[in-house]
Amino acid sequence: MSAASHSLAGNHLACHTCGLVSRHPEVLTARLSCPRCGVELHHRIPRSVSRSWAFLVAAMMLYIPANLLPIMHVTSLGKTRSDTILSGAEYLLVHGMWPLALIVFVASVLVPVVKILILAYLLISVQRRSPGRAMERLRLYRFTEFVGRWSMVDVFVVTVLVALVHLGNVAEIEAGLGAVFFAGVVVLTMFAAQTFDPRLIWDNVRAHAARHTTE
C-alpha cells in the first residue's frame, strides 16, 4: 500500500499537464512553471468559481430560447411545420418510436437541466465552504463531466436531416435558431464543468478537519 502524506499538501504543487509534484519555493515569485514540462503551475484553477458561474449563468439564459425556438422547419407539399426540441420528442413518441423519444428527451431536455442544477449546487456548496458529503459531490461532478457532451445529439440529428431531405427533393428541412442556442447551451455547460476545480470540494474537507484538530 502507498502511504498518504497529506500534511505535505500545503507546500506542494502538482502540474495539471504532466502530473509532476513540485515543492513550493521559499520565496514566492509571480509565476511558477513546471520544471519538467514548462506549463504554468497553479495551486487551483485560477478564479475557478467565478468563471464557472459566468459560463453557467450564460448557459441558463440560452436554455430558454433553446427550448422555445424551433430547432428545425420542415416544408413538404407546400406546408411548413416547425419543431422545437420538445415537439420533436413528442413526434417520435406519437409515432410509436418511444425508445428514440426517450433518448432525445433524456439527452436534450433532462441532461442539460440536471447538469445546470448539479453545477450550481457544487458551486454554492464550495462557496459556503461546506465540508459534508465530499465523495457524493465528487461523484456528481464526474457524472456531469461524462453526460454533458451527449446533449449534442439533437444538433447532429438536425445536421443529418438537413443534408438528407434536401437531397430527396420532396421536402425541405431548414435548421432553426433554437438549434444554435441549444448548441450554445451544450458548449457553455462543458466550459462551466471544465473550469470548475473539483479539488475545491476537498479543500473545505481539509480546512474543516484542521479547525477541529486545533480546537
Partner 1 sequence: MVDHFHSKHSLVACHECDELQRLPAERERGRVRCLRCGCVLHHAGRDAIAAPLALGLAALVLFVLSNAFPLLDFGLHGRHDSTYLLAGIRELFNQDMPLLASVVLFTTIIAPLLHISLLIYLYLPLALGRRPPAFAKALRLVQTILPWSMLEIFLLGVLVAGVKLAEQATIVAGPAAWSLGLLVFVLSAAATQVHPQRLWERVA
Which of residues 150, 207, 209, 211 is near partner 1 by CB under 8 A? 150
Q: Which three cell numbers stand for residue 50?
A: 467565478
The rounded distance, in Å, linking the Cα atoms of 181 and 155 is 10
Rounded to the nearest 10 degrees, the angle between the axes of helix 199-214 and helix 134-147 is: 170
Please, which residue, 24 or 47, has the CB nearer to partner 1? 24
Site for partner 1 in 154-193 (CB under 8 A): 154-157, 159-170, 174-175, 179-180, 183, 187, 190
Site membership for partner 1, residue 80 (CB under 8 A): no
Site for partner 1 in 110-139 (CB under 8 A): 134-135, 138
Site membership for partner 1, residue 106 (CB under 8 A): no
Is the separation of the CB atoms in 186 and 112 below 8 Å? yes
The rounded distance, in Å, linking the Cα atoms of 122 and 139 is 11
Q: Cα-flanking dihedrals φ and ψ of residue 171, to 5°? A: -140, 165
Amino acid (one-letter) located at 125: S
Residues in the interface with partner 1 (CB under 8 A) total 74
Please, which residue, 26 or 215, has the CB nearer to partner 1? 26
Please, which residue, 2 or 213, has the CB nearer to partner 1? 2
Site membership for partner 1, residue 9 (CB under 8 A): yes
Is the separation of the CB atoms in 83 and 71 below 8 Å? yes
Compute how many other C-beta atoms are within 10 angstroms of the C-beta atom of residue 129. Answer: 12
Judged by CB under 8 A, which stretch of 37-45, 48-56, 58-66, 116-124 contacts partner 1?
37-45
Judged by CB under 8 A, which stretch of 2-10, 50-58, 62-70, 112-120 contacts partner 1?
2-10
